[in-house]
Amino acid sequence: SPLRTDNFEATFTLDLKNPPGGSDPKHEQGFAFWYVYDDPKTQYPREALNCKDRCTAILENAGFGLMGYKSNFNGMAIFFPNNRFVDGRMDLQPSASLAMNDGTLVYNRQVDLPTGYGSFWDYRNRRLTVQVRVQPESVTVQGRFSDTDPWTLLINYQVTDPKFRIRPNGYIGITSLVAPVGGQIINLVDYVALDSLHVVNHDLSQKGEDAETAPEPSDVESRPDPIGEKAVDSSKDSLISSLNDLKLTAYRVITELEPMRWRTEQGM
């Protein structure tokens, strides 16, 4: 569901590990944090959601080659690519950078990343925690490797263009991408695993989630009561017969459910 506030803080932790043997990764890869205004569930093509092979190629052909999401995204993105491309050459130079878009710009990860808003920072082979503080006219990103480390400022961005002002009702997401380089062993990539993601609403005037709905009051008086009706309209013997029928029905339900409950317990 969308986030109902434009003033929030998101903190996520990733476990990052070098390829087997401690070598450097041989393939292009990275991950990204998103706050976008289109519901991602409605954006991905079906073939990308169900792919088992050549997923990167399928994503790129569908226009989703920007760290696993749309190259013409609508919202804010913070990119953490492992690589920087200089004159077509892929260098291992991790960075964190921010981009804003209203859906009209098409980003190319090998040309436009890192953007001009960010910094180079070697976070590889660490347990990385990133804090993203979002307000309508500013975005601050910090990172650290343990709870006792001081925060390292990575991005301090001021929104100057009104069309990029942060709005409520956006969707938070984290994606990653590995683009295979020909001739290289496929498992020579960094291990990236999301450990946790927490979001805090800083706007007390916004609930941040869908408002709770109270159930409609029920009219107990209007509910049918077959036993009560028989008690009024029938004799004492008829009422006793109805109660016996109810008892037998309840017994039958219990005895039929008991094997099912046993199988459930065994399965658990």
Q: What are the per-10-residue average pLDDT scores of the chain (268 residues)? A: 95 95 89 98 88 86 94 98 94 97 97 96 97 98 98 98 97 94 85 97 74 54 57 65 72 55 45
- Token pair of 13 as six digits: 């932790």
pLDDT score, position 88:
87
Residue 43: Cβ-neighbour burial (10 angstroms; 0-12, 13-18, 19+): middle
pLDDT score, position 256:
55
C-alpha distances out from residue 38 to 7, 44, 74, 184, 203, Å: 18, 11, 7, 36, 22
pLDDT score, position 53:
81
Q: Quote the CA–CA distance of 211 and 224 in Å, as a whole number.
A: 33
Q: Quote the CA–CA distance of 157 and 167 in Å, as a whole number.
A: 16
